[in-house]
Amino acid sequence: MKKTAITLADGRTLRYYDLRDDTPHDTLDPRPLRPDPGTPEIRHDPLLGDDVVIAAHRQTRTHHPPSDACPLCPTRPGAAPTEIPAPGYDVVVLDNRFPSLTGDLGHCEVVCFTPDHDASFADLGPEHAALVLAAWTDRTAELSALPTVEQVFCFENRGEEIGVTLGHPHGQIYAYPFVTPRTTRVLANAATHHRRTGGRNLFDDTLAAELADGRRTVLDGTHWTAHVPYAARWPYEVHLYPRRRVPDLTALDDAARAELPGIQLELLRRFDRIFGPGQPPTPYISAWHQAPARHPLKGEFALHLELFTVRRAPGKLKFLAGSESGMSVFINDVPPEAAARRLREVASA
């Protein structure tokens, strides 16, 4: 992997990740941009104990541009310059032009998986998917080392139903200046489990129970295993774990890292086949849950990928209505065992 960093016209950083060492990236950003990171604010909710980001400047971010004006495509000869000055690339990570978090309040980055505007992550080959993983890992290591960052979150939103405003295949990285509410709750439960069981790990015991039951197992590799959780919140939801518990992407060994691209691609391709032929691409969120950078319980956390869709049937979405949005009590219309069975049925031949 070759990594090349350049500075965009407004001072943001863009990083090229290339499969070959001989790929030049000497094209400058010709746009007359001025630095304008916005002014996000973090406010603490005294009732729930959560932190909330207020980012009013994001109201003006790019919203569903036509494909010939996509800011994440390479800059083509004779066309208006985009966010990416080069005429081609493998993988790009750049500072978000409309960040939710900036400066001492964290960082937001965009990860462009491919220059092909009409592709998706599932269309990548294993080598290219491994390059995306290498970029996730590299950015996790660098961002986690910053004294203002407490947790790094790598994720992909796909589909307008999820709220995506740019159709180009891409993910994002949020580097929070606090430990997120979800992770705080998980770590508290892990600590309680550790005390109640005489030192056992919550993630290890949960994964062992799923493997022993077997009904919700979707895919089982040498170094990774995927299952629909017993109490799944979403219609189709899969959790992918390495068999050897590690806190984050940087801690994966070579064997687990080598097997992951094929496993992840297979899961994504199955998601596109859940609802049968002729259906539009399945909208999903693909989220890497990693341990906080400096938390005392970091070693108790288990890296895992959560992949889920808001589509519950052809033409039907799972909305977060009164119970979910008002009281955080999810109601799932698809039994987890049925979801797992369907995901096994649509395995690649």
pLDDT tens track for 47-67: 999 999 999 989 888 888 998
Helix (H, G, I), strand (E, B) or coil at 285: strand
Q: What is the mean pLDDT of residues 9-31?
A: 93
Instruction: Tell me if 25 is assigned to a ligand binding site.
Output: no
Annotated catalytic residue 289: no
Instruction: Tell me if 70 is assigned to a ligand binding site.
Output: yes
Domain ranges within the chain, ordered by starting residue:
2-180, 182-345
Q: What is the CATH number of domain 182-345?
A: 3.30.428.10
Could you tell me which CATH class the domain 2-180 is placed in? Answer: alpha beta
pLDDT for the residue 314? 96
Instruction: Tell me if 117 is assigned to a ligand binding site.
Output: yes
Residue 145 has pLDDT above 80, yes or no: yes
Number of H helices, E strands in the chain: 6, 15
Same CATH fold assignment for domains 2-180 and 182-345: yes
> Cβ of 157: how many Cβ atoms within 10 Å?
19
Strand partners, 287: 155, 306
Contact 247, 301 (CB under 8 A): yes
Instruction: Tell me if 73 is assigned to a ligand binding site.
Output: yes
H-assigned helices in 214-317: 254-271
Residue 37 has pLDDT above 70, yes or no: no
Q: List the catalytic residue out of 128, 170, 193, 223.
A: 170
Compute, in degrees rounded to 10, the torsion defined by CA atoms 3, 15, 121, 64. -170
User: How confident is the model over 196-215, as pLDDT tens digits?
Assistant: 999 999 999 999 999 999 99
Contact 144, 30 (CB under 8 A): no
